[in-house]
Structure 1
Amino acid sequence: MVKTLLGQVRQYKKDSLLSPLFAALEVVMEVLIPFITAIIIDRGIEAGNIKNVYSYGGLMLILAMFSLLFGVLAGKYAASASSGFACNLRDGMYENIQTFSFSNIDRYSTAGLVTRMTTDVTNVQNAYQMILRIAVRSPVMLVSSLVMCMIINVKLSMIFVVAIVVLAAVLVLIMLRTMKLFDEVFKKYDALNISVQENVSAIRVVKAYVRESYENEKFEKAAQNLYKLFVKAEGILAFNNPVMMLVVYGCIIGLSWFGAKYIVIGGLTTGELTSMFSYIMSILMSLMMLSMVFVMITMSLASGRRISEVLNEKPDIVNPLNPVNEITDGSIDFNHVNFSYREDSEEAALSDIDLHIRSGETIGIIGGTGCGKSSLVNLISRLYDVSDGSVCVGGKDVREYDLETLRDQVAVVLQKNVLFSGTILENLRWGNENATEEECTEVCRQACADEFIQRFPDKYHTCIEQGGSNVSGGQKQRLCIARALLKKPKVLILDDSTSAVDTATDAKIRDAFTRKIPGVTKLIIAQRILSVQDADRILVLDDGRISGIDTHEQLLATNDIYREIYETQIKGGGDFDQASGKEGEQL
């Protein structure tokens, strides 16, 4: 974990080294001041030598000024190094997340990743800043002050040694008790963030079903669980200060008692005792600072482990050593494919899929919920890897292709349509960042999106709000289809991507595909028979297996599942969607 985290310091190594260096120099200056104070008292004030008072007083002033300068520099470089370190941690996690396959992403919740990149990084940043400055300053101050005390009087210095041993033992016990609690605390943070994320993203549903009270109770429960764990952890940490003060006052009393005796018998001067009181405060303040560092480290260890998990996560899907960078055509072959989302899963999402699709062919895919339709098409663009068998595009196994090349040529419009904050043009250009406005307009015509875009006051420069919340579901689907078309792919996959449009618009989109992109292989997942009945062939899936693949007419005659779906939809009245001349203009 430590090696992983420190690997993110990178360009801030210089600042990370300068900060403890200046902190150590600051301590040296501070440690010398009580020593000079003792000389002023013994050789100046008590000896009646005003010259010594002025000369050593001037030296003390110079030491204080250097201490201030070194302290400012130590703080400056510590802030720079810790802030830069935190920035690198967030960048490192974000960059690594971008390489994750779907199977990697499945291991983490969105709220958990957000917590890692915010709360956890902040904890580690604060701990790193304390380590650079206080964790260096305090031990140096402790050792230096102890050495100076031993120079003055070895026997009296043993008081400090005993205090250090007692305090160290207490700190170790506190750390051991709290580390496990803080692990649980940050897991509860995830649960709290999940509750917030679900509620905010689904606020319309919450209000539609009048579930505000239920959501409030759920959030309050998550907050209370976090509160209880924090109270328990902080309750244990609270023992730190009382024990510290007990040791401090014990040392002062011990030093006063034995120091007075040494002065009486002549083994110690008044100036030396005064300086020892200064050193005892320095030692005990160092111990207090160290205890704060230990507390912060205890809290940040849990955060550090969570950050390291994300940084060390290796993508399940990577480029081969010598990837193929060109796809010859849009032919697709499934060669006895088996697929499970988890290696230890007893149930396969797909079983023995043997399917061969010609380049330019239009394939409809239909079947009941959970039959494996989305799982099937996700394998084509290698969002997941097969468990057994192989998937080939253009005659080559998808595992041989460069991932960027493959996904540029296999455009997928997923079930969950996502638009980003920005203009319509900016969203479309996710498909091709160099596309002209004319090219964007053309693909929008093919996706039947141009008709509603032209009604917006700013047309293609209309701003889309976060998540596309200011456009209807059908409008969002058509924009996503246009975005995929802009990639000019060899394979186009529509995963139930016209479910929110009326049947007339659906028919227009399919007709445009036939006329405008005849050479593109098209796979259309749909719930409606009308959306796929004109396809070259229709694939019927049942429980992860191929039940049949043929034309609409042949499947009606030979496949019971397809015929049952068809009759249910037709006898149920079919789709009564009407083409709307004025589709919900929300902008």
Structure 2
Amino acid sequence: MFKLFKNLKPFATSIAIVLILVFFQSLSELYLPTLMSDIVNNGIVNGDTNYIFKIGGLMLLVAAGGAICTVTANLLSSKVATGFGRDLRKKIFTKAEGFSLEEFEKVGTSSLITRTTNDITQVQQVLVIIMRMMISAPMMCIGGIIMAVSRDKELSLIIVVVLPILVATISIVAKKGLPLFKAMQTKLDKLNLVLRENLTGIRVIRAFNRIDHEKKRFNDANYDLTSTAIKVNKTMAILMPLMMLVMNLTTIAIIWFGGKRIDVGSMQVGDLMAFIQYVMQIMFSLIMVSMMFIMIPRASVSAVRINEVLDIVPEINDAKEIKKADDKRGYVEFKNVKFSYPGAANPVIDDISFSAKPGETTAIIGGTGSGKSTLISLIPRFYDIDSGSILVNGVDIREISQESLRSKIGFVPQKAVLFTGTITDNIRYGKEDATEEEVKKALETAQAIEFISNMKDGFDSVIAQGGTNVSGGQKQRLSIARALVRNPEIYVFDDSFSALDFKTDAKLRAALKKETKDSTVIIVAQRVSTVMDADRIIVLDEGKIVGMGTHKELLTNCDVYREIVSSQLSEEEIA
């Protein structure tokens, strides 16, 4: 956890002020029992009213000063903790933005959400307690012992007996609680995962009548987390009653033995009252420490999980020396490319070589699992290849900055993703400063104007979270428009026409041909009708190229392509 506290440097001044204020607050609390003792011994016993008012007034001033220090310290510590939490969330989010898809899969989306929210909140809460107590608790404990001993050395032997009992109690409870706190955070991850799958997959769940099954999954995860939380709370609930029991027994012992010492004249009543208060301060300081022990184990687990994210070194990084691209624009070339997913026995892509040029359309087709989507996800460098090279404009993509590489590409994913906001906002995601004319033109090319004009607010119509208020085909057209507005050098369409009817598909491809005539177009498709007019068709089978050429050439010399065509088109259409 202390590793995370390096992020507190910007708040060093505020922390120093908090510690100074807490120091003076502790001094005021330690001084008050002494003043009270003086009032009893010198004022009440002697009947000196003026002395009582004088010292009483001083007590009020000291108490007021301590209260001001406490309120100010609490305000500053809260500001520091919330600022620290804000910066840490930003740091994790920024770090996650730089992860490759492999790192996202390793950590897990639901776990990343938990670590960014719940885990940081745990650390934030314990930071407030540490700032308020790390000076106060030790000072109250040590100061209380010194002041108690100064009042009566023999009676202070009670403290020597009690302190080890309290420390042992706190240690045993904390030792039992730590593993449970760790388990709680893991189970919270599981609950978030189940909840996220339920919310995102609600249509499938209802379609297959699996609501009861999903309720059971959620209840199992929920009860699992609840039972662990109850175990933790039971363990920690023992602590406070034990502390109070020891405290009350200690008070009884002090009064018992202190009364005897007063009886023989070895101690004054005021000193006994002050002694009781100092022992109470020692006890309360240990209770404060026990509260820290309750929260620190859980925060420590959270801190470890946060550090796990921050310590991940992304596998995909920009080269130290960034090379400039040639004068070429939009050239893509694969040279003997091989790629395997982590832990896979066989490569998904093996010995792939081809080139794509501006003004040409390169289509990739193949059976399910042949590696089509994987192949094109290598172009924007979502993954790094095992061997070979991928060149864009004559330069290996590993020697170009990721930002520069991706700025050249208009990528339309297989699963259309839209963001909450208006239609215009979603299109401008492709180009932030796109004009209204550019947005309109992109939507016209993507054949989206017709359905947008039927919407109540037109271009200002709001897209719901996940794009649930538009159909699959509409999502795809908006995704295509988002790529078109960039006017990139390279267009990559990953099965982006699958939800379109044949008529819209044909109109869209005809419009695209005009808009992309100066760019390189790479299309992955399942439909033969989508790829048959391409300048070059690449046929994949089990990660390898088994055919390359035009539609007519492949019908003659590629069995795999002929099988795909015959499964989709009639003999008349093939002819």
**2:209 is the alignment partner of 1:210:** yes
Q: Secondary structure at the match of 1:7?
A: helix
Worse-superposed segment, 286-295 or 95-104? 95-104
Residue 43 of structure 1: aligned partner? 42
Contact persistence 1:537–1:549 (CA under 8 A): yes
The structural deviation recorded for 1:574 is: 9.1
Residue 350 of structure 2: aligned partner? 351
**2:410 is the alignment partner of 1:411:** yes
Q: Calculate the aligned-residue CA RMSD, in Å.
A: 1.8
Q: Secondary structure at the match of 2:156?
A: helix
Contact persistence 1:135–1:293 (CA under 8 A): no
Residue 151 of structure 2: aligned partner? 152
Q: How does 1:263-282 map to 2 (within 5 A)?
A: 263-282=262-281
The structural deviation recorded for 1:325 is: 5.3
Contact persistence 2:325–2:394 (CA under 8 A): no
**2:475 is the alignment partner of 1:476:** yes
* Letter in structure 1 aligned against 2:333: D
Going from structure 1 to structure 2, the CA distance change for 1:553 and 1:573 (only over 3 Å counts) comes to closer
Alignment partners' CA distance in 1, 2:179 and 2:495: 46
TM-score in terms of structure 1 length: 0.94
What do the CA deviations read for 1:337-377 (whole angstroms, capped 9, x no partner)? Answer: 111221x4322221122222233321111112221111111
Going from structure 1 to structure 2, the CA distance change for 1:572 and 1:149 (only over 3 Å counts) comes to farther
**2:327 is the alignment partner of 1:322:** no
Alignment partners' CA distance in 1, 2:158 and 2:542: 77
Structure 2 segments unaligned to the other structure (5+ residues): none
Residue 564 of structure 1: aligned partner? 563
Going from structure 1 to structure 2, the CA distance change for 1:574 and 1:6 (only over 3 Å counts) comes to farther
Contact persistence 2:325–2:393 (CA under 8 A): no
Alignment partners' CA distance in 1, 2:561 and 2:158: 89
* Letter in structure 1 aligned against 2:206: K
What do the CA deviations read for 1:276-331 (whole angstroms, capped 9, x no partner)? Answer: 11111111111111111110111111111111222222222122223235563212
What do the CA deviations read for 1:407-428 (whole angstroms, capped 9, x no partner)? Answer: 0102211111111111111111
Contact persistence 1:37–1:271 (CA under 8 A): yes
Q: Secondary structure at the match of 1:266?
A: coil
Q: How does 1:348-497 map to 2 (within 5 A)?
A: 348-497=347-496
* Letter in structure 1 aligned against 2:481: A
Q: Secondary structure at the match of 1:2?
A: coil
Structure 1 segments unaligned to the other structure (5+ residues): 576-587
Residue 333 of structure 1: aligned partner? 333
The structural deviation recorded for 1:540 is: 1.1
* Letter in structure 1 aligned against 2:275: M
Residue 249 of structure 2: aligned partner? 250
* Letter in structure 2 aligned against 1:25: F
Going from structure 1 to structure 2, the CA distance change for 1:572 and 1:227 (only over 3 Å counts) comes to farther
The structural deviation recorded for 1:548 is: 1.5
TM-score in terms of structure 2 length: 0.96
What do the CA deviations read for 1:256-282 (whole angstroms, capped 9, x no partner)? Answer: 232223223332211111101111111
Worse-superposed segment, 54-63 or 197-206? 197-206
The structural deviation recorded for 1:571 is: 4.8
Residue 129 of structure 1: aligned partner? 128
Q: How does 1:469-548 map to 2 (within 5 A)?
A: 469-548=468-547
The structural deviation recorded for 1:573 is: 11
Residue 74 of structure 2: aligned partner? 75
Contact persistence 2:358–2:517 (CA under 8 A): no
* Letter in structure 1 aligned against 2:187: K
Alignment partners' CA distance in 2, 1:515 and 1:80: 57
Worse-superposed segment, 540-549 or 495-504? 540-549
What do the CA deviations read for 1:148-168 (whole angstroms, capped 9, x no partner)? Answer: 011112232232233222222
Alignment partners' CA distance in 2, 1:403 and 1:184: 38
Alignment partners' CA distance in 2, 1:492 and 1:326: 18
Going from structure 1 to structure 2, the CA distance change for 1:53 and 1:325 (only over 3 Å counts) comes to farther
**Percent of counterpart pairs with the same letter?**
38
Q: Secondary structure at the match of 1:55?
A: helix
Q: Secondary structure at the match of 2:353?
A: strand
* Letter in structure 1 aligned against 2:334: F
Worse-superposed segment, 11-20 or 178-187? 11-20
What do the CA deviations read for 1:61-85 (whole angstroms, capped 9, x no partner)? Answer: 1111111111111111111111111
Q: Secondary structure at the match of 1:9?
A: helix
The structural deviation recorded for 1:252 is: 1.4
Going from structure 1 to structure 2, the CA distance change for 1:325 and 1:472 (only over 3 Å counts) comes to farther
Alignment partners' CA distance in 2, 1:84 and 1:159: 44
Residue 583 of structure 1: aligned partner? none
